[in-house]
Structure 1
């Protein structure tokens, strides 16, 4: 059974790709066969593919005939050669044509599905844990860097509380007006009275109710800094930890970019131009807001988004591909996105379904926890 994944394309992106209309239909069967063989071999090896290699692959043509077709494909802008005497490799236009016209995708393997679900459920006892584990497992399974954007938090807050745990920690619970639940773990000192947890929770609840997290966090921080908060030192520490966990360390900044697997981007990187591309990619990953803007641009997509090279104007790096899918809450509303970034020779047939499946599992698990919390309080 094949998995149908919608790779959303808008008109602006199509114009950026410079893919002539009807290009795929203009290729005869021989050209299609050779083009597909070159791209598939390149994605497996990362090396340019020569005519002699193709002639030994059972394609049934002489090296001379293959070279003629490769020359035609190069003239069409689908192939390129790093050196005069080297083989051919697909251009970004060629990769896009291959993905859109030739790539067949199925569900992830049973082993991959089991690993994704088991790791998300075992290592994510709160929302932040689920998102961190999603980034980590995507990095490991896909061979690139795993990216996850934390959920948007623009709806007014309905409920806040601190729940003590038996591990020297407390669970800081936030619920918005749509019923979405977000949990954060905070450290508490040994022997902290339960009344301090109640005091901190009541203080936040009174100031957050009806406000967005951004509005409430700013007001609470100002009140604490001006010593207008009627809290003891322990309760103040709890409140500050809760705000830091929900909103990041930068005051007013509600979003976070979770990245795992940067080291994977260095694998098989030898040429100077490859190292320069990796350096640029590291710089972009450090500019979290830039990457969050890219991930947020996928929120209206009906499925997985694939950006090859600089197809997305927010992501100008030409030597990388970005595969992204949105994840949803229990109300089927998109609240964030996750994906993989890596070299253009990513194994698209494997990575695209894995990103899609991971996004679905993250949404399912977060939805289950949201519904469980609601049931416990009804």
Structure 2
């Protein structure tokens, strides 16, 4: 079974609810699962028909009143059934959610799609496929966050601008070109620039910048034998400036249109408009996804637990992926309404992150 991390601590009322009797927990479970399945409120008469124990509607209403006072359910309209609050959803996810496993057939489908994406020999295509795949599974928006160091490189060149400065030119497999300014030590011969370029290009072989840095660091003694001290410093400086003082983040989002498929009312349309606005504000999405890089396992953020979704009432399910050195280098996930199928999506996000990690480990 997939493990996942709690994104907030449990409030005292939720801790107290954990001690409620089986009857209260079963009624609460049915209300939440009905909401996740249909989006509709659950009334006492419907509950009386589906509960595994015999209870009258009046007895059920008494329990619902207790759950409502605890802040876990609410009535959207007078005399209507009940829906879970965000606090109720958090308690359900943390304490009652039963996660399934990703079936063998689904595992093979995920891996086949990712291998097909990797056939283009760019890791960017693998990440885009991961985002699209999760979008299709969840009927939400699939998201991937990574850094420039995970883009596979095709060529690196040092180009002198004047005696004190040079450009580090990085050409990626996808054809993109990035230039960084590098300060040169006094008296550096032109041959050192060419020698540093040749040394790095001989070791690229479709590696990411992060992978190239790791390999060179691991072979530090061999580099000292091959290069003089000045050229060695130039290689180190070129790799450092290529990453930059703050690594640029790359955000991939697929499937936003899925979020429009299940609108039920004007308020749903307004919620989606706010969510689309959130997704367009990439910095806030990147900041939220970066929080999921903080540890192992799947992280779940529900509604106003995070300021980004405080108005749109959306959820994020995300899991980190790692490179060949087992360093966390990005996040894959799903953004959608709070009525996501958590039991299915949590293990799918987790498994997809594991597949991406394995592909990075193999140097796709």
Alignment of 1:16-165 (within 5 A): 18-20=11-13, 22-59=15-52, 60-124=54-118, 125=120, 126-151=122-147, 153=149, 160=156
Superposition map of 1:1-378 within 5 A: 3-9=1-7, 13-14=8-9, 18-20=11-13, 22-59=15-52, 60-124=54-118, 125=120, 126-151=122-147, 153=149, 160=156, 174-175=208-209, 176-179=212-215, 209-215=238-244, 254-369=248-363
Q: Take 1:352 and 1:6, find their aligned partners in 2: how far apart are those partners? A: 8
Shift of 1:152: 5.1
CA RMSD after TM alignment: 3.2
CA distance in 1 between partners of 2:311 and 2:172 (Å): 46
Change (3 A) 1:19 1:339: farther
Give yes or no for contact 1:153–1:212 (8 Å, CA) kept in 2: no
Distance 1:141 1:265 in 2: 13
Tell me the CA shift for residue 153 of structure 1: 3.0
Q: Aligned partners of 1:25 and 1:211: how far apart in 2?
A: 51
Secondary structure of the corresponding residue to residue 340 of structure 1: strand
Measure, in 2, the Cα distance between the counterparts of 1:4 and 1:108.
10
Cα gap change, 1:4/1:174 in structure 2, threshold over 3 Å: closer, same or farther? closer
How far apart are 1:273 and its partner, in Å? 1.4
Q: CA deviation at 1:150?
A: 2.3
1:314 CA displacement: 4.9
Is the contact between residue 159 and residue 174 of structure 1 (CA under 8 Å) also seen in structure 2? no
1:315/1:39 Cα in 2 relative to 1: closer, same or farther (>3 Å)?
closer
The gaps in structure 2 that reach 5 residues or longer are 158-169, 178-204, 217-233
The TM-score normalised by the length of structure 2 is 0.75
Alpha-carbon distance in 2 for matches of 1:163, 1:299: 27
Deviation, 1:27, is: 1.2
Any unmatched runs of 5+ in structure 1?
181-204, 217-251, 371-378
Q: Distance in 2 between matches of 1:119 and 1:49?
A: 39
- Deviation per CA, 1:146-199: give whole Å up to 9, x if none: 000123539xx997389999xx9999765331149xxxxxxxxxxxxxxxxxxx
Query: Residues 286 and 21 (structure 1 numbering): CA distance in 2 closer, same or farther, change over 3 Å?
Result: closer
State whether residues 8 and 301 of structure 1, in contact with CA within 8 Å, keep that contact through their aligned partners in structure 2. no
Q: Relative to 1, partners in 2 of residues 1:115 and 1:291: Cα closer, same or farther, differing over 3 Å?
A: same
Preserved CA contact (<8 Å) 2:26 2:51: no
User: 2:27, 2:51 within 8 Å by CA — same for their partners in 1?
Assistant: no
Distance (Å, rounded) in 2 between the aligned partners of 1:257 and 1:19: 37
Aligned partners of 1:294 and 1:315 also within 8 Å? no
When residues 143 and 150 of structure 1 are mapped into structure 2, their CA distance, relative to the original with a 3 A threshold, is same
Secondary structure of the corresponding residue to residue 212 of structure 1: helix
Q: Distance in 2 between matches of 1:58 and 1:26?
A: 20
Count matched residues: 301
CA contact (8 A) 1:8 1:302 kept: no
Provide closer, same or farther for how the CA distance between residues 46 and 19 of structure 1 changes in structure 2, counting only shifts above 3 A. farther
